[in-house]
Structure 1
């Protein structure tokens, strides 16, 4: 068993015969392109669920992304917090759309499937674009967290999303010059545009770490992130067929590709977390641990200090102006709201 054809520029035939991407039923010919081997389905509540193992990974990815978003939002004063969190929101949307499409919850025979797939591809490109723009945040071309920085990413990411979504739907519906039998423009966006955005982001972060930071450990996060992503792509497009045959249709390359993508996204978070420090003085809801070094006191100093402390405790200013005391200075008085005084008069 082998793929239908060799890898070719602007052609999804080889890729879709190897792995079941969401766009494969919509390109190539009228019936789409079916992979030679794919993960077996599972019946659940009178419905067929495709790619059940990959579906579980998608659910785990949603949980992990929610945790990362929570930690990012809790770092109130970290640099680029508002900008990077948009990348994780987009990745969460991509995961949700992928979950709905590959599992068959939205069946390929549905009239809505081409539109959902177009939105899915648009979200993927917007996610890569958002990551690219986050690569410039550390250079402070615009101060992070300002409306200029935040809204430039939001608006441009939406433009990319809308453009790629339109291109995808036009290709699937054979509108104008776009044709699903020759989807060159969609192929260029899917592989070259998204790949270039990722490559530029990586280069920018390497330059940032080398020229700006004293610590070189964040380079390890970048290396691991690229390694995970590259491994996932190789498994997805090269070894998916072999994995599917070896595993007897229980899993395919899409399973490992989804895991590798999740790990690479987690390394993006780990990298951002390693290069940003929160200013605890201005953080909200953070508890500072203040460590003090106290010298041991001699017996005479302890005695003198204890006597002074005792004298201060029992000394009452004239006129009874001390907080929580009556004018005669003999007994504790209720506080401003009737609560008992913190200290008790023991004499």
Structure 2
């Protein structure tokens, strides 16, 4: 079994993308320069490319692009089912997270696959937009972690516009810092991208940690059912596994697979599994309102009037003319 390629790989350093770019071909890597070589850091091992039209065009990361197409289709399916749950708590907020994930996948597909060539004059702007979408998607996820605590009624204009405007602000801030870093202006440098590193690496990690903590608190303090914690923790596990396979074991896996796939391929797969479990977690803690849905769990967020006993509720429904279920045609 081949040994991992680590001899030429840069060492990890806080504030530097050198190590990350040596493991995975992130879209922004071709726009940043190593402080030691003053040149972009290339992956020590990368997947084979596909030669299209006799060398006139190269398609990069074909296996990863295939997984991204599957991820996009799965995301559209999840969006469809979320939109079908008309009365579920936080439906409009959580669907925005999946929309943003889908747009990020599409942009990643264009940049990673070389459909927008790195030599293109617009590549840096699309890469900055991709970075902005990446960070703001994590922000959107964290906001959805707050929605369950009902700080304001979900689905209202206040909740939705707070989410939209705050997400847009995070996107614009990240985009601005990214493009200024790529262009080496306003005191930002592509050889020392500390500001971009904090926005791109540290902030998403913090947003994810806050989301997980909030959801654990929500389940423990609000719900009787503890099974949703399994979905949440498995989703976190798959996301972390994706980071490990892409940025820690990327070169090793690439060598084992003889360059047919690399760490980005596995990272994309495990990230998709993590996102799917975010949907599964949300679905497990919200009301089942589909017409043919069958579930053994109670509606844990359904509010009941504590001043009415069970006998009074049943009597009002069956015996009283004011009962919501009473109908003379029955």
**TM-score (normalised: structure 2):** 0.84
Of 37, 60, 68 in structure 2, the residue corresponding to residue 58 of structure 1 is 68
1:243 equivalent to 2:248? Answer no
In the aligned structure 2, how far is the partner of 1:163 from the partner of 1:189? 9
SS in 1 for 2:152: coil
In the aligned structure 2, how far is the partner of 1:223 from the partner of 1:17? 29
In the aligned structure 1, how far is the partner of 2:284 from the partner of 2:90? 13
In the aligned structure 2, how far is the partner of 1:149 from the partner of 1:41? 45
Bigger mean CA deviation after superposition, 199-208 or 239-248: 239-248
Residue pair 1:26, 1:33 contacting (<8 A) in 2 also: no
The structure that has the greater radius of gyration is: 1
Of 25, 29, 33 in structure 2, the residue corresponding to residue 24 of structure 1 is 29
SS in 2 for 1:48: strand
1:42 equivalent to 2:47? Answer no
After superposing on structure 2, the runs of 4+ consecutive aligned residues of structure 1 that deviate more than 3 Å are 286-289
Query: How far off its partner does 1:278 sit?
Result: 3.8
In the aligned structure 1, how far is the partner of 2:103 from the partner of 2:292? 33
Length, aligned pairs only: 284
1:175 equivalent to 2:204? Answer no
Of 111, 114, 118 in structure 2, the residue corresponding to residue 104 of structure 1 is 114
Match of 2:101 in 1: 91
Mapping 1:305-324, distance limit 5 Å: none
SS in 1 for 2:246: helix
1:213 equivalent to 2:215? Answer no
Deviations 1:76-112 (A, max 9, x none): 1111000000000000011001100000001111111
1:78 equivalent to 2:78? Answer no
Mapping 1:184-195, distance limit 5 Å: 184-195=194-205
Match of 1:134 in 2: 144
Highest RCO, 1 vs 2 (Cα 8 Å, sep ≥ 6): 2
Residue pair 1:222, 1:267 contacting (<8 A) in 2 also: yes
Query: How far off its partner does 1:229 sit?
Result: 0.3
Bigger mean CA deviation after superposition, 38-47 or 252-261: 38-47
Deviations 1:187-230 (A, max 9, x none): 11111101000000000000000000000000000111011001
Query: How far off its partner does 1:279 sit?
Result: 4.6
**TM-score (normalised: structure 1):** 0.80
